[in-house]
Amino acid sequence: MFQVIKKSKKSNARLTKLTTAHGTIAGPFFMPLATRGAVKHLSTDELADLGAQILLANTYHLLLRPGPGLLQRYRGLHQFMNWHGPILTDSGGFQVFSLGAYRKITEDGVAFSDPQNGNRYFLSPEKAIGIQRAIGSDIAMVLDECPAYPCTKTYAGRSLELTSRWAARCKKEHQKKKGTQLLFGIVQGSVFKSLRVASARQLTAIGFDGYAIGGVAVGEPRKKMVQVLNWTVPELPENKPRYLMGVGRPEEIVAAVRQGIDMFDCVIPTREARHGRLYVWNYLERGRREPLLSPRSEQRLRPSRLLKGEFYKTINITQAKFAKDLSPINHTNLKQYSRAYLHHLFKTNEPLGMRLATLHNLECYLVLMQRIRTSINQGVL
């Protein structure tokens, strides 16, 4: 069940509530990536402490290892990975299509081989649903084809027609068994207005529990993503969740919320953490005697682009200037550790460094989402 609790008067932002088999999620929300059934370096207890409401896992990766058979024996991924909140599974279309020479697409589905050991697989819309059923995710995604950027309008058009036919097959397969799992469609159409509109209309005609916008954050200019949302969102039903796949940086998330998006996932906070790149956000800097951030030091965005009076930058903790920085990593979940210590952990390749950096970046993202929800509720976003 999905409810729009409140609609902003200043933008298309909305405060939402999505009920799944494993709990209710307040939106707009961000999903940390547990691609292979684990968020890198973190335990599920830590994710719960961070306030993560839902995790994202990947059908393609779980198909290869550990395989749907084991997950079925386990009665699903939740128990396997010890996460008892909601899980969304991406269908794996994006990953399969990234395989290039290793895969072949037909009307029926896509044949591919595991680059690691050469094992052959065939993923059809029906199989994608079957695997996601074995995984037991709360939200399943249809199998889609995600064209690369840039691509020709002809290719994008043919591709989205295939995606729509596959979406219909997914829906049909999904309906065969009653259950609580939700199924989302994925709008494609690259950066072409008519195609995005057509894709959205075809999917809404089939009817899904929610709608994702795919084929963005694949290398197109940021302006294009804004346009894609401008074209697509008005075509989607008001009373269903809208999910912008693979997005993005904090300012992109805030902008997309303003355009009416409810759900996000992105590899950025966790991957950048592993490279020592940390978000420094003035909200989490509060109380710091000598703030690293001042409005002048703000690099990427104008204050208006995030929340009122709020801005961030990223730092690389491995830089020499942090060797002697005794100030805490942040003032919330990592106040007991200094930047100097985190610098030391990265310089000595101590794995605890990546873990602390991941905890910090996810804290930034999850607190940002919380603040976005509060801002909508207070009528200021």
Nearer to a copy of itself, 215 or 353 (CB): 353
Q: Of the ranges 96-104, 157-165, 204-212, 322-330, which one interacts with a copy of itself (CB under 8 A)?
A: 322-330
Long-range contacts from 233-240, C-beta under 8 angstroms, 24+ separation: 233/12, 233/259, 233/260, 233/261, 235/196, 235/197, 235/200, 235/201, 235/204, 236/187, 236/200, 236/204, 236/211, 237/204, 237/211, 238/4, 239/2, 239/4, 240/2, 240/208, 240/209, 240/210, 240/211
Nearer to a copy of itself, 274 or 305 (CB): 274
309 scored as a contact of a copy of itself (CB under 8 A): no
331 scored as a contact of a copy of itself (CB under 8 A): no
42 scored as a contact of a copy of itself (CB under 8 A): yes
Name, in order, each residue with C-beta under 8 angstroms of 98's C-beta and a sequence gap of 6 or more: none
Asked if residue 78 lies in contact with residue 136, where contact means CB atoms within 8 angstroms, the answer is: yes
Residues 257, 243: Cα–Cα separation, whole Å: 10
Query: Is 265 marked active-site?
Result: yes
Find the catalytic residue in 45, 90, 138, 262. Answer: 90
For the CA atoms of 64, 65, 70, 75, what is the dihedral angle to 10 degrees?
-100
Q: Distances from the Cα of 325 to the Cαs of 247, 321, 322, 340, in angstroms?
A: 32, 7, 5, 5
Query: Is 49 marked active-site?
Result: no
The least distance separating a copy of itself from the CB of residue 252, rounded to whole angstroms, comes to: 27
Asked if residue 360 lies in contact with residue 279, where contact means CB atoms within 8 angstroms, the answer is: yes
Task: Determine which residue in the list 345, 364, 366, 367 makes contact with a copy of itself, applying CB under 8 A.
Answer: 345
Other CB atoms within a 10 A radius of the CB of residue 175 amount to 11
Nearer to a copy of itself, 8 or 358 (CB): 358
Tell me the CA end-to-end span of the chain in Å, nearest whole number.
Answer: 25
The least distance separating a copy of itself from the CB of residue 10, rounded to whole angstroms, comes to: 41
350 scored as a contact of a copy of itself (CB under 8 A): yes
Q: Of the ranges 4-12, 63-71, 85-93, 137-145, which one interacts with a copy of itself (CB under 8 A)?
A: 63-71
56 scored as a contact of a copy of itself (CB under 8 A): no
Asked if residue 135 lies in contact with residue 59, where contact means CB atoms within 8 angstroms, the answer is: yes
Identify residue 84 by its one-letter amino acid code.
H
Residues marked as binding for substrate? 90-94, 144, 188, 215
148 scored as a contact of a copy of itself (CB under 8 A): no
Residues 194, 198: Cα–Cα separation, whole Å: 6
Q: Distances from the Cα of 230 to the Cαs of 40, 197, 198, in angstroms?
A: 34, 10, 14
Contact positions with a copy of itself (CB under 8 A) in 71-130? 73-74, 80-82
Identify residue 288 by its one-letter amino acid code.
R
60 scored as a contact of a copy of itself (CB under 8 A): no
336 scored as a contact of a copy of itself (CB under 8 A): yes
Nearer to a copy of itself, 282 or 358 (CB): 358
Task: Determine which residue in the list 5, 23, 24, 70 makes contact with a copy of itself, applying CB under 8 A.
Answer: 70
Binding-site size, a copy of itself (CB under 8 A): 36
Q: Could you give the angle at which helices 339-347 and 351-377 cross, rounded to 10 degrees?
A: 140
Find the catalytic residue in 138, 209, 262, 265. Answer: 265
The least distance separating a copy of itself from the CB of residue 58, rounded to whole angstroms, comes to: 11
48 scored as a contact of a copy of itself (CB under 8 A): no
Residues marked as binding? 90-94, 144, 188, 215
Q: Enumerate the active-site residues.
A: 90, 265
By CB under 8 A, name the binding residues for a copy of itself. Answer: 36-43, 61, 65-66, 70, 73-74, 80-82, 323-324, 326, 336-338, 340-341, 343-345, 347-348, 350-355
